[in-house]
Structure 1
Amino acid sequence: MSGSAVRVSEHATQAASGSPKPAVSQAAAGPAFTARVIVGLVGVLIAVVIAQLNDHVIEVAMPDIRGALGLSVDHGSWLSTAYQVTQVAAMMFAPWCSATFSLRRFTIGAVAAFALLGIAFPFAASFASSFASFDILLTLRALQGLAGGCLPPMLMTVALRFLPPAIKLYGLGAYALTATFAPNLGTPLAALWTEYVGWPFLFWQIVPLAALSIGMVAWGLPQDPLRLERFRQFDWRGVLLGFPAIGMLVVALEQGTRLGWTDSPLICLLAAGGIASMALFLVNEWFHPLPFFKIQLLARRNLSFALITLGGMLLILVAVPGVPAAYLAEVQGYRPLQSAPLALWVALPQLVALPAVAALCNNRRVDCRWVLAGGLGLTALTCFVGSSMTSDWTRGNFYALQLMQIAAQPMAVIPLLMLATNGMTPMEGPFASAWFNTVKGFAVVVGAGVAEGLTTMREHVHSNVLIDQTGNRTQALMLAQHDLAARLNLGADAMRGLFAQRIHDQALVLASADVFRLMGWLALGLIVLIPLMPTRVFPPRPAPAAVPAPQPEQSIASAMTAAHSNTAKLPTHV
C-alpha cells in the first residue's frame, strides 16, 4: 500500500473508532523541565531571598541607620511602615501583572528596580540630610517595598507551573526558605555590615545577587507573549479598594503601639476605613470576571485551613524569635553581633531540615497533617519552655529553644504548602500565589504589631503591680536600698535610677513570658483545627499514561473498507 493509502487508512481507523489521535502541543503539555528552566527557577529563588533579606536586615539595623542619618525614632518607624505598606500591597496584585506582562519580563523588571532603589538610597540619604527632606527617603523606601513585594509570588507561581509533580514538593520547600531561612539570616547580616563595613552596605548587599538573578531568569525562563488584552477587563475597582485597604490596615498595625492604639483617633480611623474597604474589595473580587483574588477557591477546605494556619503560624514565627532578641538587647545590653549566633543556630540548619521534611511529606505513607501537628506541637513546647525565662537568662539559655525551632518551622510550613497547592492547576497558580503571599505578608505585619503591642501592654501591667507591691513593703525597700547603696557607694539619685531600671527589667521579663505563653496556646489552638478542617492529601505524582481502548472488530473492518475505497479514488502517477 502506498504512503498516501497508509495515511488515509490511519485517518479512517481513527474516525471509525470515534477517538482521534490527540495532537499534544507544547502549550498543552506544559513547558519541558530542562536544566535551563532549573537555572531560571534558582534565579527566581535568589530574587525572593534577597527581597526578604533586605526587609529583615534593614529592620534589625534601623537604630544604626537612624544614628547615621540623624533621624528620630518616629522617622525611622515611618520608613519601616512605608516599606511594609507597599510590599504587602504588591503581593496582592503581582500575580495578575506577571500573567499580563509575562513572568520573565515582570520578574526581571522587579529585581532590577529593587536593586537600583537599593543603590540609590544611601546617596539620597546624603542629599536629603543636606536639604532636610525626609520625603525623599520615604518615597524611595516605599518604591523599594513595591518592587520587593512583587517577587515572593513569582516563586510560588514558577514552582506550580514548571516543576514536575514528583519534585514539586521540593520546590515548595524552596519557597519555605522565605519564611524560615531568610528572616533568621537578617540579624547576622545586619551585624556584619554595621560592625565591620558600613551602613550603606545594608542596602548595597543585594546588588551582586540581584545581577546574578536577572541573568539566570533571563536565560532560564521561557518567554511568554504579552497579554495586554487583559487590560480590557482590568479590575480598576479592585485596585482602588484593595490598595488603600491594605495600606490603612498595615499603617494601623505598624504605628498602633507608638500612637497608643485606641487612644489615637488616627489609628481608629485607619482601622475602621481599612476594614470597610477590605470588605468592599472582597465583594468586588467575587463578581469580577478577571479578579486579583478568586474568592471561590476558599470553598476548598484545605486551602482555607492552610491560609488560617499559615497566618497563625507566621504570627508565632514573628513573635517568638523577637522575644529573645528584644530581651537580650534591652536587659542584657546585647548588640546584633552578640545576638547573631542565636539566629544562625536556626537559619543554617534549615538548608538541611527543609529538604528532609519535604522528602518525608513526599512519601505517600505519611499523612502531612500529622507532620503539621508535630511542627505545631514543637512550637508550643518551645513557647511554654520559654515562658519560664528569668532576668538571669543569657544567650546560652535560648539555644535549647532554637534547637526545637530547627525542626518545628519546616514541619509546620511545608505541610501547609502541600495542603494549599494540592490539586491546583497551573492556571490556578497565580490565584493561589496571590492568596498565600498576601496572607503571608499581612500575617508578618500582624505578628510584629501584636507582639509589640502585647509586650508593651503587659509590661505596663507588670510594672504597676511591681511598684504597688514594693510600696506595700516600704521598710524592707528602705533597708535593701541602704545596704545596696553602702556596698556600691551610690548616692540617692543613682539608687532611684537603679531601682527604676530593675523594675523595668523585671516587667519586661514577665511580659516576654506572657508573649511566649500566648503563642504556645495559639499553636495548640491550631492543632485542634487539624482533625476538623483539612482532608488528607497525597504527594503529587505524574498522571498515568492513557491506554487506548481496544477497538471492536466491526469498526476496524469498516475502517479498512473505507480506506480501500479512498485508495481506489487516488490518482496514479508514473
Structure 2
Amino acid sequence: MPMCALRSTERANGLWLMAGIIFAASTDTVNSTLTQVAAPEITGNLAASVDEGAWVTMAYTMGRLFAFLAAGRFIERAGLYRTLVACMGANMGLCATVLLGPSLWGVVLCRALQGLAGGTVTVAAMAALILAIPRAQHAYAQAGWGVTTMLGPSLLAYLCGAAADAYGWRLAALWQVALALAAMACLWRTLGQREPAIVARSGNDALGGLLWGVVVVTSQFAAARGTRYNWTDVDWMLPLVGTAGTACVALVLWHGRLHVGPRLVDTTALRRPEFNFACITAVASSYG
C-alpha cells in the first residue's frame, strides 16, 4: 500500500468534534493525575519507590510514542472518525480496569495501553480539527483548543487531587469514566461524516518519524526525570537534552520536506499556522 496522507474534501461537524476532543484530552489528564495519586496504595504501601513511579510514567510515555508512529496505519485501516471512537472506548475500559486496583505491573500494562490509545487520539485529533473545521471558524477553534490544552490540565489536576483527598481516589476516578463517555458520545456524532480523501505521499516519512520519535522520547524522559531528581547532576542527561534540541531544530528547518505526524499530515498542512499552533499548545501542555 503506498504511503498516503489525509486531506479533507468535505465540511464536517466541527462543534461535536471539538467537544469530543476536549473531553478526550480531559480524560487523559484526569487518568494521569489519579494514577500517580493511587500508585502507593496499588503497590501495597504508603511510600512507592521512585523506580516504581518511573515504571508507571515511562510505560505511558512509550505507549504514546508507539501511537505517534502507528496512528497513520490505524487510520488507514479503520478511518479517521472510527479510530477516534474506538480509542476512546478502549481508554474508558482501561480507566475502569485501573479502578479495580490491580498489581503494580497491572497498572503499568494499563498505562502503556492508555498511552497507545491516548497518543492515537492526539495525532488523529490534530488532523481532524484541521480538516474538519471551516477556515472561517479557525480563530474560534484555536482559541478553544489553546485554552483547553494550556489551562485544562492544571485545573483538572487540582480538582482531582482535592477530590481524591476528600473522597478517596477510587470515587474520584469515576470522573474519568464519565469524561470518556462524554467524549465517545460527541465523537459518535462524527461517524456519519465522509472520510477525508487519500492523496499520495513522498518517501520522507521514515526520517520525519524518526526525528519526531527522538524528540518525544528524549524530551519526555528528561522531563520525567527532572520531577524526581536533579537531572543536571547526571552525566548523560545533558547529551540527551542536546539530542532532543537537535532533532527539534532539524524538524523546524526541514519541515517543508519532511512529513511530521507520520502518514497523516502532508506538507501543505504543516505550513498552515493552525497546525503549528496546535502542535505548540499540545507540546507545552504536556509539560504542565
For residues 140 and 285 of structure 1, do their structure 2 counterparts lie closer, same or farther at Cα, with a shift above 3 Å needed? farther
Q: 17, 22, 26: which is aligned to 1:45?
A: 22
SS in 1 for 2:92: helix
For residues 282 and 49 of structure 1, do their structure 2 counterparts lie closer, same or farther at Cα, with a shift above 3 Å needed? same
Deviations 1:240-299 (A, max 9, x none): 44324421221122203534323213423533444455566667755447874767878x
**Matches of 2:109 and 2:254, distance apart in 1:** 30
1:202 deviates by: 4.9
Match of 1:189 in 2: 160
1:192 deviates by: 1.7
Greater RCO, CA 8 A, separation 6+: 2
Contiguous gaps of at least 5 residues in structure 1 = 1-26, 129-133, 304-419, 422-431, 449-574
The 5 Å alignment of 1:312-323 reads none
The 5 Å alignment of 1:55-134 reads 55=32, 57-58=33-34, 62-69=36-43, 70=45, 71-84=48-61, 86-87=63-64, 90=67, 94=71, 98=75, 101-123=78-100, 125-126=101-102, 128=103, 134=104
1:179 deviates by: 2.1
Larger Rg: 1
**Matches of 1:257 and 1:193, distance apart in 2:** 21
Letter in 2 for 1:66: P
1:114 deviates by: 1.6
1:31 paired with 2:11, answer yes
**Matches of 2:208 and 2:97, distance apart in 1:** 32
SS in 1 for 2:169: coil
- Aligned pair count? 274
**Matches of 2:12 and 2:120, distance apart in 1:** 25
TM-score by length of 2: 0.71
1:178 paired with 2:149, answer yes
For residues 230 and 113 of structure 1, do their structure 2 counterparts lie closer, same or farther at Cα, with a shift above 3 Å needed? farther
Deviations 1:487-541 (A, max 9, x none): xxxxxxxxxxxxxxxxxxxxxxxxxxxxxxxxxxxxxxxxxxxxxxxxxxxxxxx
**Matches of 1:167 and 1:63, distance apart in 2:** 39
1:45 deviates by: 3.2
SS in 2 for 1:150: helix
For residues 52 and 437 of structure 1, do their structure 2 counterparts lie closer, same or farther at Cα, with a shift above 3 Å needed? farther
1:162 deviates by: 3.5
**Matches of 1:253 and 1:44, distance apart in 2:** 25
**Matches of 2:259 and 2:157, distance apart in 1:** 41
Contiguous gaps of at least 5 residues in structure 2 = 1-7
TM-score by length of 1: 0.40
Q: Which has the higher helix share?
A: 1
**Matches of 2:227 and 2:184, distance apart in 1:** 39
Deviations 1:438-482 (A, max 9, x none): 43343345x55xxxxxxxxxxxxxxxxxxxxxxxxxxxxxxxxxx
Letter in 2 for 1:31: R
1:148 deviates by: 1.8
Q: 196, 218, 241: which is aligned to 1:248?
A: 218
1:265 paired with 2:235, answer yes
Match of 2:115 in 1: 145
SS in 2 for 1:151: helix
Letter in 2 for 1:252: A
For residues 160 and 244 of structure 1, do their structure 2 counterparts lie closer, same or farther at Cα, with a shift above 3 Å needed? closer
For residues 285 and 160 of structure 1, do their structure 2 counterparts lie closer, same or farther at Cα, with a shift above 3 Å needed? closer
Measured on the aligned residues, the alpha-carbon RMSD in Å equals 4.1
Match of 1:216 in 2: 186
For residues 245 and 170 of structure 1, do their structure 2 counterparts lie closer, same or farther at Cα, with a shift above 3 Å needed? closer
1:437 deviates by: 4.2
Letter in 2 for 1:145: G
Match of 2:4 in 1: none
Aligned-pair identity in percent equals 21
1:220 deviates by: 3.4
For residues 158 and 215 of structure 1, do their structure 2 counterparts lie closer, same or farther at Cα, with a shift above 3 Å needed? same
**Matches of 2:21 and 2:204, distance apart in 1:** 26
**Matches of 1:80 and 1:260, distance apart in 2:** 17
The 5 Å alignment of 1:273-292 reads 273-276=243-246, 286-288=256-258, 292=262
1:83 deviates by: 2.8
1:164 deviates by: 4.2
